[in-house]
Amino acid sequence: MPLNIVHEADGFPRIILTEPSGSSAEVLLYGGQVVSWKNERREELLFMSNKAIWKTPKAIRGGIAVCFPQFGNLGSLEQHGFARNRLWSLDSDPSPLPPANNQSSVDLVLKSSEEDFKTWPRSFEFRLRVCLSAGKLTLIPRVRNLDNKPFSFTFALHNCLSVSDISEVRIEGLETLDYFDNMMRRERFTEQADAITFDGEIDRVYLSTPTKIAIIDHEKKRTFVLRKVGMPDAAVWNPWDKKAKALSDLGDDDYKTMLCVDSAAVENSIVLKPYEEWKGHQELSTVSSSYCSGQLDPSKVLHGFR
């Protein structure tokens, strides 16, 4: 099935994925970034800043960004690494991952360049498959070490979700877990609340999280279910009003309708031996309900799937 590649006026080629039930997704070659995911009712499920800077080499605020080979500022590279502001290519030789019926997908690849070697002298191939099916968006990242010596990296899929009102949203599945608080010099704390709710800025990395996390939007009666494999941590971020005003590529009130919940590998770096490959898996789906607790087995939420 030929890919639908659109060249917009902003100069960023994008791949449009569609499937029979009517949902769609848009993936940029720039950054390998998903910038839209709409359900069958054409409702946008991802948040995109109305002040996003669509100009290289800036990262684009919103959607699902790839943070590689560094998460945040946990290293010597630029914030969240360089993968999100490089031009990726269509993968002409994708791995034969299992096909699925009524699924639309695209395979992208990013290879180490001379430019990147100056700041991160490692030889690698990063492959990303984005799959769209009814009610579901799946991302499969794979990193292969092409060096003759090991290397390590931290990683995240930075998921910016569209919500009705941040003060009406709760996250379940992270209770009782330890987290690093980036607003407190990465001090380590233990979550005491029954569920995470929002009344101010939050910037945390929850550790050793379950494979399934629920983001419940009471006002929209919609729950995002985030399932992930190979990314044991989960970053949670909302800038709130003061920080939003300080970010030039974020609208002053954008914080009210966004929530970032990332699939991440932060506490322990991923280490690859020569020619070894790491593979992750993330699945975002939506459930029409105002409450998702009954669908989450508490023992599995707290201790993960075995």
pLDDT tens track for 170-212: 999 999 999 999 999 999 999 999 999 999 999 999 999 999 9
pLDDT tens sequence across 34-82? 999 999 999 999 999 999 999 889 999 999 999 999 999 888 888 899 9
For residue 257, tell me if it sits in a domain.
yes
Q: Smallest Cα–Cα separation from 137: which of 46, 229, 71?
A: 46
Contacts of 135 (CB under 8 A, 6+ apart): 21, 23, 39, 40, 285, 286
Percent of the residues in the chain that have a pLDDT greater than 90, as a whole number? 80
Residue 301 has what pLDDT? 43
C-alpha to C-alpha distances, 252 to 59, 204, 285, nearest whole angstrom: 19, 22, 28
Which long-range CB contacts under 8 A does 105-110 form with residues at least 24 apart?
A: 105/17, 105/129, 105/130, 105/131, 105/132, 106/3, 106/15, 106/17, 106/27, 106/130, 108/27, 108/29, 108/32, 110/32, 110/83, 110/86
Show the CA angle centred on residue 159, arms to residues 1 and 96, nearest 5°.
Answer: 35
Residue 254 has what pLDDT? 96
Q: Which domain holds residue 15?
A: 5-292
Instruction: Let me know: does 206 contact 177? Beta carbons within 8 Å.
Output: yes
Q: Smallest Cα–Cα separation from 230: which of 301, 156, 160?
A: 156
Q: What's the predicted TM-score (pTM) here? A: 0.92
Residues marked as binding?
61, 79, 84
Q: Report residue 298's pLDDT band, with 50, 70 and 90 as the boundaries.
A: very low
Exposed/middle/buried for residue 179 (C-beta within 10 Å: 0-12, 13-18, 19+)? buried
Q: Report residue 289's pLDDT band, with 50, 70 and 90 as the boundaries.
A: low
For residue 306, tell me if it sits in a domain.
no
Number of domains in the chain: 1
Residue 264 has what pLDDT? 98
Residues marked as binding for substrate?
61, 79, 84
The alpha helices in the chain, defined as continuous H runs, are 114-117, 240-246, 298-303
Contacts of 286 (CB under 8 A, 6+ apart): 39, 45, 135, 222, 223, 224, 225
For residue 41, tell me if it sits in a domain.
yes
For residue 112, tell me if it sits in a domain.
yes
pLDDT tens sequence across 258-275? 999 999 999 999 999 999
Residue 12 has what pLDDT? 86
Instruction: Report d(CA 180, CA 202) in Å as an integer.
Output: 11
Residue 9 has what pLDDT? 65
pLDDT above 80 (res 87):
yes
For residue 298, tell me if it sits in a domain.
no
Instruction: Let me know: does 33 contact 13? Beta carbons within 8 Å.
Output: no
Instruction: Let me know: does 93 contact 113? Beta carbons within 8 Å.
Output: no
For residue 304, tell me if it sits in a domain.
no
Q: Report residue 102's pLDDT band, with 50, 70 and 90 as the boundaries.
A: low
- Among the residue ranges 93-97, 131-135, 193-197, the one predicted with the least confidence is 93-97
For residue 300, tell me if it sits in a domain.
no
Per the listing, tokens 């999100």 go with: 84
Q: What is the CATH number for 29?
A: 2.70.98.10
Give the type of residue at 46. Answer: L
For residue 303, tell me if it sits in a domain.
no
Q: Backbone phi, then psi, for 182, in 5-degree steps?
A: -70, -15
Instruction: Report d(CA 223, CA 171) in Å as an integer.
Output: 9
